[in-house]
Copies of this chain bind each other. A is one copy, B any other.
């Protein structure tokens, strides 16, 4: 059991003080191009060699304790197993790594209780900042984070009235595109499938739908939105789709990919010819969109931008370059029809 080598071991073997070893290991270059610590080139060389020979691995805990910085970030998403959030996770991890941060991930699965549990455990781990997709009921927990003076950036949703930057999609415009895709085909009977969940991404898309329909002159009674509970969309779409077909709905837009997938499964099993008997527009990507002719178009969110913007805001917050205040960054989606 070869106990871990420390700077002490290196110092002993190189015949120098531990301070010097530390200086060499932290030989950071300042902004002005000068090194922070000046060490004799040969001494440095020797220390570096010994460190490599001993396979030195700095102790993160000790450094953290001393510096008071963990370089750990917490990211809480709605559901990691959804490709959209999976992509977000991957991107954030990638960017964070390049900046020397480790990321802890959590899935709230839209449960406020789970959300709180995750925050608590991340706090235990000393995360320096959070990037979160707040679920319903997350307000008190987020307030707590802010009270602890821990940097917080919100993504995907903007309904939390707290002094935190929010990076969101222009859902209004996105739904305008989605609906237009159908009206341009000359479709008259267009409806929307959404969640009962009251979070801004969802209600924003609903508003976008309503606004667009109105501006296109659809009478108020023809603007219909079907809202299903997050936890039971399978059984609910199974009930909803037959009635949709009976009423001869011609076009359907969805608030999320999960809703679209559930609906597509049911419609297929009913023998409906998708993109013929009824035209669909999805939200976010999914493999199933490509199985139809023509493929089901969808609204693609600018994941790269969301992640890079969210990270840079969080980093600035951590570095105290900006202060924790409400600020809305709205990004634009894009229609994808293959």
Contacts and interface: CB of A to CB of B under 8 A. Distances in A.
Q: Give this chain's copy count.
A: 2
Contacts of A265: 287, 290-291
Contacts of A124: 57-58, 60
Contacts of A61: 61-62, 64-65, 70, 126
A43 interface: no
A293 interface: yes
Interface string A1-38: 11000000000000000000000000000000000000
Contacts of A214: none
Q: State which size class the interface on A falls in.
A: 35 or more
A81 B70 contact: no
Interface string A92-131: 0000010000101101000000000000010111100000
Given A264-B291, A268-B292, 4 more contacts: A59-B65, A60-B124, A62-B65, A81-B83
Interface of A: 1-2, 55, 57-62, 64-65, 70, 80-81, 83, 86-87, 89-90, 97, 102, 104-105, 107, 121, 123-126, 148-149, 261, 264-265, 268-269, 271, 286-288, 290-293
25 contacts: A55-B148, A57-B123, A60-B124, A60-B125, A60-B126, A61-B61, A61-B64, A61-B70, A62-B65, A80-B80, A80-B86, A81-B83, A97-B121, A102-B121, A104-B104, A105-B105, A261-B287, A268-B291, A268-B292, A268-B293, A269-B290, A269-B293, A287-B288, A288-B288, A288-B291
